[in-house]
Amino acid sequence: MHLPLLNIIDTVRQLGWGGAFELLRNGIVLGSVYALIALGYTMVYGILKLLNFAHGDIYMVGAFLGYGVLSILGGPLAPTIAMVPLILLMFLGGMLGSGVLGVVVERFAYRPLRNAPRIAPLISALGVSFFLANSALLLTHGERFNYAMYQLGGDPNTGLPGPLNQPAFSVAGRPVTVVQVLVVSTSIALMIALTLLVSRTRLGKAMRATSYDREAASMMGIDTDRVIASTFFIGSVLAGAAGVMFGLYIGETYYLMGFLAGLKAFTAAVVGGIGSIPGAMVGGLLIGVTEAYAAGYVGGQWSDVAVFGILILFMLLRPSGLFGAKTIQKV
């Protein structure tokens, strides 16, 4: 008899602890990319109660910008500058470009609809998403561009990968590569920076005040339009960073990559409790790890089913998410 469940148990046995670790590792790396995208979703939702469906496409643009910087500086095979400044410049290009794009989108697609019924900016967000994805399609002719970072500093004759894809350390005989460490540690650093910004700085406090009660915040003299624009900038900068990270780690960028990643990050934000910053981080990791285990144990074709199954489960059982406050209706 052939039961799928037995298959899964078999696979788990076959892969063993080492395999389980590898899947966990892959999940955490992917999850830290999702978490960064989810942060932008959750911040914008927190301040405008808007699901910014264009956010995934801003991530896509960030990935392309990182690729653009890489190509301008000679590409992975013949870089004109050293590796560390090259990667820093790729991050800088992707983050700043995405950040500015986020501000422009807010200014022209959402701000005019600030006092419109909530469905209007939502539709506008879908429109921006299509606009960005299709603009990218026109500009790239639908081609896929590969960062191919394993070539950077590698040996083109033997195909030996460069330092980014060398193991940084091993656990149970399974390697963790430099790029994986880089992705996770950059993500953690950005999350710490964001947490400090929101909890300590004047702008961060104004963001929290505005997201709790926009009119009261403006009565305190807070320029709420500017605070909202800053929120979009910061959220989009994080998405841009996530795009570059994805490029460094997986490599392939194409015009539709923002769609699925955006939906998964949205799932992460909902699972964590939309509007909650720690929720987005934990949700992102949870989604990444789920995806990796589903792909490893059940099969790659099941990974999206597992991720969106979690979304449905949360919507049914705990719609406020892991960290979300139960909304109390004020009278």
Partner 1 sequence: MPMLLRLSGVNTYYGQIHILTDVDLEVAEGELVCLLGGNASGKSTTLKTVIGIVEPRTGTVEFAGEDVTGKNTSYRIKQGMAIVPENRRLFAPMTVRENLEMGAYLLGRAKKEDFERVYSLFPLLHERRNQLAGTLSGGEQQMVAMGRALMSQPKLLLMDEPSMGLAPILVERNFEIIKQVHEAGVAVLVVEQNANISLSIADRGYVLQTGRVVLTGPAKDLLEHEDLKKAYLGR
Instruction: By CB under 8 A, name the binding residues for partner 1.
Output: 202, 205-206, 208-209, 212-213, 215-223
Residues 6+ apart with CB under 8 A from 48: 110, 121, 228
Of residues 66 and 321, the one with the C-beta less far from partner 1 = 321
CA dihedral angle for residue 17, residue 19, residue 25, residue 29, rounded to 10 degrees: -160
Of residues 26 and 224, the one with the C-beta less far from partner 1 = 224
CB of 223 to partner 1, least distance (A): 5
Of residues 190 and 222, the one with the C-beta less far from partner 1 = 222
Whether 261 contacts 59, CB under 8 Å: yes
Of residues 166 and 195, the one with the C-beta less far from partner 1 = 195
Residues 6+ apart with CB under 8 A from 33: 183, 187, 242, 245, 246, 249, 261, 284, 288
CB of 116 to partner 1, least distance (A): 14
Whether 290 contacts 26, CB under 8 Å: no
Rounded to whole angstroms, the Cα distance separating 144 from 251 reads 10
CB of 241 to partner 1, least distance (A): 27
Q: Where are the alpha helices (DSSP H) in the chain?
A: 4-48, 55-72, 83-105, 119-140, 178-200, 202-212, 214-219, 224-249, 257-272, 277-293, 303-317
Taking alpha carbons only, the member of 229, 322, 230, 227 closest to residue 280 is 322
Of residues 116 and 305, the one with the C-beta less far from partner 1 = 116
CB of 224 to partner 1, least distance (A): 9
Rounded to whole angstroms, the Cα distance separating 288 from 198 reads 25
CB of 244 to partner 1, least distance (A): 33
Of residues 204 and 258, the one with the C-beta less far from partner 1 = 204
Of residues 206 and 257, the one with the C-beta less far from partner 1 = 206
276 Rama sector, left if φ>0, alpha if ψ -120 to 50, beta otherwise: beta
Of residues 144 and 200, the one with the C-beta less far from partner 1 = 200
Q: Which two tokens mark 245?
A: 């990270």
Rounded to whole angstroms, the Cα distance separating 1 from 8 reads 14
Count, residues in the chain? 331
CB of 274 to partner 1, least distance (A): 15
Whether 245 contacts 28, CB under 8 Å: no
CB of 120 to partner 1, least distance (A): 18
CB of 286 to partner 1, least distance (A): 24
Of residues 27 and 321, the one with the C-beta less far from partner 1 = 321
Q: Which residues does residue 279 pair with via DSSP β-bridges, in sequence order? A: none
CB of 98 to partner 1, least distance (A): 28
